Structure 1
């Protein structure tokens, strides 16, 4: 099969940091165009809108959509309707209904839709999943704390309604636990902290349980300074499992069992190529559903205004 002609929409930090290097390393894709209001890539034809791009470059086979989630549905609808395969950056949409509609359009058009969850492809995630499947889990603690000023400087969209706030990183943790835990869990209570000048939360505390009453507690906070924390700790009959650094390292009872360099986006593009070649889609909305449930059940707490 010849390389898949790929276009990227929304040329920002995540594209330059992750998408471009991964596409460059991949034999499956050939980057042929971009569409972005401001960003361009040297040597690649650039357009201001997805409409202009699709009209000008009919050879496009697939489109990666990397704009904020509030604006993704319209672009995805246009690409799918034009018969293009679509890669959705996380989260796959601003609402569950949007993603369900996109999935139906992809099926009707016979093209592939990929809801990407990059943290699931962190190197120690699969070993953690295998370990948890081999033992009885007593409890799970998720600690996801980082400095928003470092990771999202001057990005006003994340504080707007639909921008998810602290759930932008927190959904990465949710994507991991929905993948590694043997049974589905659901939120029983939540507290969301909203800066008085923002429409999205800066911190959240979530409580889950599954059908066997396994308790899961998660704390997300965007006010962390110093060392950043992205850990999942499980107490089990075989001891304490720590999946650390966003899924990069796995320790059991304090002994490091697994650690490899991060190649999440390379794995995402390999998966995207795989589903395109097989004529299938991969659209798991479980992490986004937990976010929606947190907003449904969560108590709202007002905290001090946030200023970047």
Structure 2
């Protein structure tokens, strides 16, 4: 059994990582590193440095801290000879992630950059169905209420916090998985609150080698029911992934209506990678976000008030 610790015990770690680990027989959660939270029944430490020093026999660490501090933590964990699971996004820059790949390979440990939305119930079936079809148009609608998912978390508005791309990258992780052709950003508009450094809304226009129009609309201001929908038009019919990918319909017929299995799938994959002595670091979704910040026009909007 692989012993594992969680660094950063916030909402996502408590709601998603903890239950997934408790249900996975490949792992034993033995420690937590967090400045503000503790967990009964395991060793608790105020930071990752003290955790690594106190628990030398630890096998792996799941880094659930904000991306701005994750590179230094990942380096320390890798140098200590531990396997590393990175919450999304894998860092604040592509250069950081590339260096982590090199370090993990040199040290002989597993590095897993996770994209939990790819584990949603309908995603792989969608990929299979689209793999033999010509895509003619794609529409992505990804709208959330930031106050619900990141209450009081200022880091999401700072450089490296990604703003609305924190959820939007989930949509990009699905689309980069299911579409049969690579696609590229052509233009983008980023709506940035006057008192923030990262966008609260974004509109993106992509295309592929076949000039297929791929439109994405990300917004962090939606109240009430949340919208996580991807519609793919093909020459042979229309595919819709809804509820973040857990529901799949083709030509109006519901094919899959699955439960929340995303983080269970991540830890199953992490266990497989550790056994095989391999890493999995796909930066395609992150690269699209970097392109948006590089090519996007900034539009100032009203201040964000928590």
Q: Decide: shared fold, TM above 0.5.
A: yes
Counterpart residue number, 1:147: 145
Output the CA distance in 2 between the equivalents of 1:79 and 1:45: 17
Counterpart residue number, 1:170: 168
Find 2:76's aligned residue among 75, 78, 96.
78
Counterpart residue number, 1:293: 291
Residue 197 in structure 1 maps to residue 195 in structure 2: yes
Deviation at 1:53, TM superposition (A): 0.7
Output the CA distance in 2 between the equivalents of 1:251 and 1:303: 36
Output the CA distance in 2 between the equivalents of 1:262 and 1:288: 23
Counterpart residue number, 2:53: 55
Structure 2 unpaired stretches of 5+: none
Aligned pair count reads: 306
Deviation at 1:32, TM superposition (A): 1.1
Residue 273 of structure 2 aligns to a residue in which SS? helix
Counterpart residue number, 2:119: 121
Residue 32 in structure 1 maps to residue 26 in structure 2: no
Output the CA distance in 2 between the equivalents of 1:106 and 1:303: 41
Output the CA distance in 2 between the equivalents of 1:284 and 1:172: 13
Q: Encode CA deviations 1:120-154: one digit per residue, 9 max, x unaligned.
A: 00000011111111321100000001111111111
Q: TM-score, normalised by structure 2?
A: 0.99
Q: TM-score, normalised by structure 1?
A: 0.98
Counterpart residue number, 1:259: 257
Output the CA distance in 2 between the equivalents of 1:300 and 1:264: 33
CA RMSD of aligned residues (A): 0.7
Runs ≥4 in structure 1, deviation > 2 angstroms?
none
Q: How does 1:94-133 map to 2 (within 5 A)?
A: 94-133=92-131
Structure 1 unpaired stretches of 5+: none
